[in-house]
Structure 1
Amino acid sequence: MSTTTVLRDPTAEAAPVRRARRTPPWSLDDITVALMDIGKMRGDEFIDRLEQLFAERGVATKRWKKPTNTRTAPVEMLQEIAEEADVVVVALSDCGSCTSCSTHDLNDLDARGVPGVSVLTEEFRSAFAGQCETIGFDGASIFVPHPVQNRTADQLYAMAENVIEDVICAITRRK
């Protein structure tokens, strides 16, 4: 079997129009959700709870972790997610560089056929919107309170519990 590798477009990031995001599936039945940990400190605890909440709903998940939050994900990792998952949750951005990189990762995965959502802190709502505008992508997002690093594990778990239904709605056509 032949494998196709999709590379990033190195041209300038100035898109005249926004590309609509890929249409997500109707439900999470028989779907694998990729949980992409961008590598921010304490983000793994938030993702741990998301993973538990998906499991409680009978939804299959698979996790990936970026080597660093200040760069886009390696192409090989994006390709692996595209081959092994149906939708993606990219989390947890709480600064400018990781918001930019996560938005690119979300766009790259969408272009590979994996619709998803990025979870970011409120402080970076406008940064996400600006990044989407610049790269021409109508990305989906969910926002949680800022900051993340000084929260307890219980607080991070509660944040995940507060947004799980929004996450599910963003990665499905459920409203």
Structure 2
Amino acid sequence: MLMQMKGVDVRVYDPRGVVRSIEKPTAARKAGLDGLRLGVLDNSKWNANKLLRGSIEALKREIDFEAVNYYVKHSFSKDAAPELIAQIVEENDIVLTAIGDCGSCTSGCLRDAIALEGAGVPTAVIVTTEFVKETVLTREALGMLDLEPVIIAHPVSSITLEEVAQRVAQILTQAQAVWKGEQKGAAAKYLENRRAPD
């Protein structure tokens, strides 16, 4: 915006900026899950292993997977290495990844999920309730607006085994819905329900 002030031109910039991204589609969803290869990407956050291993056992009671492959990235605040993403894509049909329960790890998990989805692998990315807004902003900034997260209760890092089991139950139904394309608008609904009344 250009303004004049006592004969002097003053240019005022909007400091908020604009998010510009190219929209990217998610991978084609799966009609059924039996016979698929499940990839599990652990970002090495506290309790991610317990959540993911508990989820594997719960999912195996309902789904007859051809194989379950477990991967660990050793820095939760960074994206998975391109070589690891390529290996996961090659060896799996669907992916479960966790955990987004802080700023940098949520971003890293989402970026991994978007890379996997972009390569054709439906991915259920687990985030906690406190980081749903960041999830929405990150997926918008990266252009994958239809990426649906699996939303579980916060916190995760300091919970009991009973609380781990409660979160596994949340993961069990949502992950299957994400892979099949049945979870629509969960993040937006969650944020709408959390809005403070005017």
**Which TM class, normalised by the smaller chain length?**
0.7 to 0.9
For residue 124 of structure 2, the aligned residue among 113, 117, 120 is 117
1:159 aligns with 2:164: no
Q: Which has the higher contact order (CA 8 A, sep 6+)?
A: 1
Trace 1:44-123 onto structure 2 (pairs within 5 A): 44-57=49-62, 58-59=64-65, 60-123=67-130
Q: The residue matched to 1:20 in structure 2 has which SS?
A: coil
What RMSD in Å do the two structures reach over aligned CA positions? 1.5
Q: Shift of the alpha carbon at 1:20?
A: 2.3
Find runs of 4+ consecutive structure 1 residues off by over 3 angstroms: 14-17
The TM-score normalised by the length of structure 2 is 0.77
Kindly tell me the number of residue pairs found equivalent between the two proteins. Answer: 162
1:134 aligns with 2:141: yes
Unaligned runs of 5+ in 1: 1-13
1:32 aligns with 2:37: yes
Shift in CA distance, 135/121, structure 1 to aligned 2, threshold 3 Å: same
Q: Shift of the alpha carbon at 1:174?
A: 5.1
Shift in CA distance, 15/84, structure 1 to aligned 2, threshold 3 Å: farther
Unaligned runs of 5+ in 2: 1-18, 184-198
The TM-score normalised by the length of structure 1 is 0.87
CA distance in 1, matches of 2:45, 2:85: 18
Identity %: 22
Aligned to 1:21: 26
Aligned to 2:186: none
